[in-house]
Every structure is written in C-alpha cells, then in structure tokens.
C-alpha cells in the first residue's frame, strides 16, 4: 500500500544514506544525513528524485539542474539528486555519461527505498521513485512538493522561480518572478 506523499509544512524525514560526490578515486562516496538539510547556516535544500539511472529522460533533468548550479548557489541552496539505485550504479552512470561527469551535487543512493517510501514517492509497481522535487527550508520543513509521472521531465526554471518566491517570505502573485513586486 502506497503511503501518502509528505506535504508542505511537514518535517523532512530523518535519513542517513550514501551519495556519490566525486569521480576522484578514493573520494567518490560520502554519507549524507538529515543535518545536511536541517542546518543553522540558513541554507535551503532542493532534493529531486528520478526513477532509474541509465534511462533517457533522467539525464536530461540531472544535467539541467547541474547547468543551474550557480543559480542555486546564489540562492544559498544545496542540491541533492536521488534515486533508488545504488551508489555504485550512480558512479558508473556518472563515469559513462558525458552530461553527468561534471555534476556539482551529490547523487543520493536510497537502495533500501526507505526514504522514497517515507516520502510517499515510491511507485507501487516498479518500486522506483516518481520524479519528485522537494524544496526544504533550513529548519527541515518542506515548503514545496512537486511529483511527476515516470515519463515526464520537470522544469528546473520553475523550481528556481518557486524557490525565489518562497525565499521572499512575502505574498507572490501568479507568474511572479524574481525582481517583480510582491503583494505585501
């Protein structure tokens, strides 16, 4: 039975997982945990999930997030990419895909599928993660959730737009973009 997707206002779950952080021999892997998300540094987090490594839509999204890394850094926001594949599969994919070799963010391995399940984003038949995106504030509170079906890629510019709006902590009208007037 599928759990419900964690929603806005809820606390991001506690976790500890291995992630691929580098292609440098001996420095490929690092353990990430909840303190990476909940922090005193006033740093936001965007965690985005994809269904499977070595597929077709997934690398287009991952590469697009990476292209916008300076935009996320300018917003004091960490990126974490994640799937239910292992860290070894992530590393092999990064090593063998031209668009993924230079990734500047960790690729989290949820091989037990426990985090995807706790988030409510585990697809029931194939047991892979839906294309889910979570924007999490520095206190570890989920501020935005977006979940797509397995075959549809997301829009990274929309993730940035929503992040900008959330970081204003003001009322932002429809189609609001950074630099425009807010309603408060």
| Active site amino acids | 58
Structure tokens at 24: 């440098």
Give the Cα separation of 1 and 3 in Å (integer).
6
- With residue 49 as reference, give the H or E element that holds it: strand 44-49
Give the Cα separation of 179 and 184 in Å (integer).
14
Strand order in the sheet with 131-136: 29-33, 16-20, 107-109, 77-83, 44-49, 131-136, 142-148
Give the Cα separation of 8 and 157 in Å (integer).
20
């Amino acid at each position: 039975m599928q759990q419900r997707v964690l929603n806005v206002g809820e606390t991001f779950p506690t976790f500890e997982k291995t992630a691929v952080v580098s292609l440098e021999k001996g420095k490929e892997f690092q353990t990430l945990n909840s303190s990476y998300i909940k922090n005193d540094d006033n740093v936001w987090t965007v965690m985005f999930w994809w269904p499977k490594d070595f597929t077709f839509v997934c690398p287009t999204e991952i590469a697009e997030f990476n292209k916008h890394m300076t935009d996320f850094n300018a917003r004091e926001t960490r990126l974490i990419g994640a799937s239910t594949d292992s860290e070894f599969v992530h590393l092999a994919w990064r090593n063998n895909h031209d668009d993924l070799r230079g990734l500047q963010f960790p690729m989290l391995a949820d091989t037990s599928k426990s985090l995807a399940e706790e988030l409510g984003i585990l697809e029931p038949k194939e047991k892979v993660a839906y294309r889910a995106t979570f924007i999490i504030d520095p206190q570890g509170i989920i501020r935005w959730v977006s979940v797509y079906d397995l075959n549809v890629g997301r829009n990274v510019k929309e993730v940035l737009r929503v992040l900008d709006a959330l970081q204003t902590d003001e009322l932002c009208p429809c189609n609001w973009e950074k630099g425009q007037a807010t309603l408060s």
